[in-house]
Amino acid sequence: MLKKLDQTRSKAIDELSSLSDLKGLEDWRIRHLGKKSALTQILRGLAALPSEERKAVGASANEVKALLERHYGEKKETLKQEAYQDLERTLTVEKIDVTLPGRPISLGRLHPTTQIVREICDIFVALGFQVVEGPEVESDYYNFEALNIPADHPARDMFSTFWIDTEISERPMLLRTHTSPMQIRVMERTRPPVRVVVPGKCYRYEATDATHESMFYQIEGLAVDENITLADLKGTLFEFAKRLFGEERKVRFRCDYFPFVEPGVEIAIDCFACGGAGCRLCSGTGWLEILGAGMVHPDVLRRVNYDPDVYTGFAFGLGLERILMLRYGIDDIRLFYSNDIRFLRQF
């Protein structure tokens, strides 16, 4: 046992001399003075030794312990001093120049689509509309049937659809192809007068190209009340186009077809790049199409229990990326969602 104590002592002293940092010293302490160290095991086993041996081993073990503790204390002091001197050296050599200007933190900004959503909603709020939002995962009923587009209707071809396999609902589910389903949802839960705009994402299962994305934004508008006429639709959208594109803009109304409006119209503004003379942006026509609209179809009103003999209304839907493309002369819609920071930083 005495021999073992002697070996423990020399091993510990040897190791101590090669230590150069406080972390290593703490490991050393645990190894040689900690609960599981050979020395502590010997001290704990003293009671089991015969009394003669116990006396000699006990005395020697306590001596080794005191010796190691003393060396440990001295080494700790030395290492602390060295660490302090190192720090002092570093601080002298590596001076910090507190007068240097700070590094600028690069600030994020709103995506151009978010900016235009806010701008357009602000215009309609000023005209008395409320902003509401609706689900992107829709049922076949709201996206099509309630809007006069039954399963076999050829107009379904206009809306290439992402269908969703689901067992949660008995109704066929899909990613909404336009924001028009919100016309039904809003009218189902309110009575006229209704004046809402609905911004949101839409999805179409189409090959992407410079003017088509499979995910894009629309803003839907709906106004229903007594005595609403096509003149209100024209007045509202004329005012909107002027506020968004400038006072001097001209607005063109032409017939178009959507099953849920009657009559249906398409609205274009005169091209602000060429002033209507014809250029690349407007494909030589002098006009830029911005939205589809019309008077809410009486069948749609009946479906939500509005009496079409009492109430009439108008609705419109515009594609936001196309508006941004026109405004900034961007020639590829895919740039908006390809996350190229160099493109997005411009807005």
Residue type for position 169? S
Count of residues that bind ligand FA5 according to CB under 6 A: 24
Give the residue nearest to ligand FA5 (CB). 319
Residue type for position 166? T
Using CA atoms, how far apart are residues 322 and 330, in angstroms rounded to an integer?
Answer: 9
Cα 308 to Cα 42, 54, 228, 312: the distances in Å are 100, 109, 11, 6
Interface region with ligand FA5, contact rule CB under 6 A, candidates 10-18, 42-50, 134-142, 211-219: 211-219
Does residue 294 belong to the site contacting ligand FA5 (CB under 6 A)?
yes
Give the residue from 109, 333, 335 showing the smallest Cα distance to 206. Answer: 333
Give the residue from 315, 70, 319 showing the smallest Cα distance to 199. Answer: 319
Which of 224, 315, 324, 325 touches ligand FA5 (CB under 6 A)?
Answer: 315
Residue type for position 324? L
CB atoms within 10 A of CB 328: 11
> Shortest distance, CB of residue 125 to ligand FA5, whole angstroms?
19
Does residue 334 belong to the site contacting ligand FA5 (CB under 6 A)?
no
Interface region with ligand FA5, contact rule CB under 6 A, candidates 130-138, 278-286, 313-321, 336-344: 313-321
Q: 255-268 burial by CB neighbour count: b if 16+ within 10 A, else e?
A: ebebbbbeebbbbb
Does residue 180 belong to the site contacting ligand FA5 (CB under 6 A)?
yes
Which of 258, 287, 306, 311 touches ligand FA5 (CB under 6 A)?
Answer: 258
Binding residues for ligand FA5 restricted to 99-158, rule: CB under 6 A: 158
Which of 5, 319, 324, 326 touches ligand FA5 (CB under 6 A)?
Answer: 319
Interface region with ligand FA5, contact rule CB under 6 A, candidates 9-17, 162-170, 236-244, 314-322: 314-322
Does residue 206 belong to the site contacting ligand FA5 (CB under 6 A)?
yes
> Shortest distance, CB of residue 263 to ligand FA5, whole angstroms?
10
Side by side, which strands form the sheet with 163-164?
137-139, 173-175, 163-164
Give the residue from 339, 296, 23 showing the smallest Cα distance to 146. Answer: 296
Residues in the site for ligand FA5, rule: CB under 6 A?
158, 178, 180, 204, 206, 212-213, 216, 218, 220, 258, 261, 291-294, 315-319, 321-322, 333
